[in-house]
Amino acid sequence: QPRLFSGMQPTHDSLHLGNYLGAQVNWVRMQDEFDAFFCVVDQHALTVAPDPAELRRRTRVTAAQYLAGGVDPERSTVFVQSHVPEHAQLAWILDCITGFGEAARMTQFKDKSGKRGQEGTNVGLFAYPMLMAADILLYDTAAVPVGDDQRQHLELARNLAQRFNARYGDTFVVPEAHIPSETARIMSLAEPTAKMSKSADNQAGNLMMLDEPKVNTKKVKSAVTDTDNAVRFDPDAKPGIANLLRIHAALSGDSIDTLVERYAGENRYGALKTDVAELVVAVQQPFKQRVDELLADPGELDAILARGADRAREVAAPTLAKAYDAVGFLPAG
């Protein structure tokens, strides 16, 4: 089976609906056809200087959410990035073939470092995309299911694979991004021209998978829309309604056209919101319940992660060895 790799940062206690619809739904859908690796990228999360106890807790909670969302640890490998030292080791090599200007052009780096200012920005934030490329390339990955905001990082990973292969001989598989067509950019409910984001200032726009259902219901009902009162799918003119329609379609399986017909007519925003709220609660309630169960017995979860790390190292170590040899590192002993 061809390989699949993806990951999420354990920077928060809960995934949001964008993580779920933009990435996780595809993970679960694709895990049958691929030999899949799902990684909790704690080393990436370190770039925002989390409290150590929180990072530890959130790493487990994030792994639990992988499973709650449908990742099957019997079929797929679930593990924590820092348990597999090859990631950091390959990242160094990739740092050395990445141009400074090339890394400085990454829009996520520009956004994050812009927000934090020169003083608050660290070198890890700059090197972040090369660590991400290492994650992917270590596993001879063919497919990387992610949301739209990772497109540029994926392009860099492809470029680095090709560059390394050209310079040192064929070593890495060139990966392909799998980005969903309708749910690649779930927008904030409070500010529908900005994506739903864990680091957004306005958390009222985020539907958190582990929040109480009534909190999410309230957020959906207060979602920012427009005053035109007609349900049409027009992401430019009506971003709030388009976002609700996309969420509805993704969760219900109905097409956007069907939904536009169903909610046509005056004053139907309320009905659309009520139905979206119900659909959101219907996925997040069992999700949350499963996470609570998994965390009640962290021994089982930790055993899954330990097995996952062993299996990940079995694949990552030989790839790293090939890369070490290709660049001319002297074998140890």
Asked if 138 is part of the footprint of ligand TYM (rule: CB under 6 A), the reply reads no
DSSP 116-142: HHHHH--HHHHHHHHHHHHHHHTTTEE
The answer to whether the Cα torsion of 282, 288, 289, 294 is positive or negative is: positive
Asked if 66 is part of the footprint of ligand TYM (rule: CB under 6 A), the reply reads no
Asked if 135 is part of the footprint of ligand TYM (rule: CB under 6 A), the reply reads yes
Count residues binding ligand TYM (CB under 6 A).
26
Question: Considering only residues 40-59, where is the footprint of ligand TYM by CB under 6 A?
Answer: 41, 44
Strand-pair partners of 34: none
User: Contact with ligand TYM (CB under 6 A): which of 185, 219, 238, 288?
Assistant: 185
User: Of 186 and 245, which has the nearer Cβ to ligand TYM?
Assistant: 186
Residues serving a catalytic function are: 112, 195, 198
Residue 220 CB, shortest distance to ligand TYM, in Å, is 15
Q: What stretches of 169-228 show up as alpha helix (H) in DSSP?
A: 213-221
Asked if 22 is part of the footprint of ligand TYM (rule: CB under 6 A), the reply reads yes
Asked if 239 is part of the footprint of ligand TYM (rule: CB under 6 A), the reply reads no
Rounded to whole angstroms, how far apart are CA atoms 164 and 172? 8
CB 223 within 8 A of CB 188: no
Each residue 192-211 as x (binds ligand TYM by CB under 6 A) or -, in order, gives: ---xxx--------------
CA dihedral 248, 250, 255, 257 (to 10 degrees): 50
User: Contact with ligand TYM (CB under 6 A): which of 5, 38, 79, 139?
Assistant: 5
Q: Which residues bind ligand TYM (CB under 6 A)?
A: 5-9, 18-19, 22-23, 41, 44, 132, 135-136, 144, 146-147, 149-150, 153, 184-186, 195-197
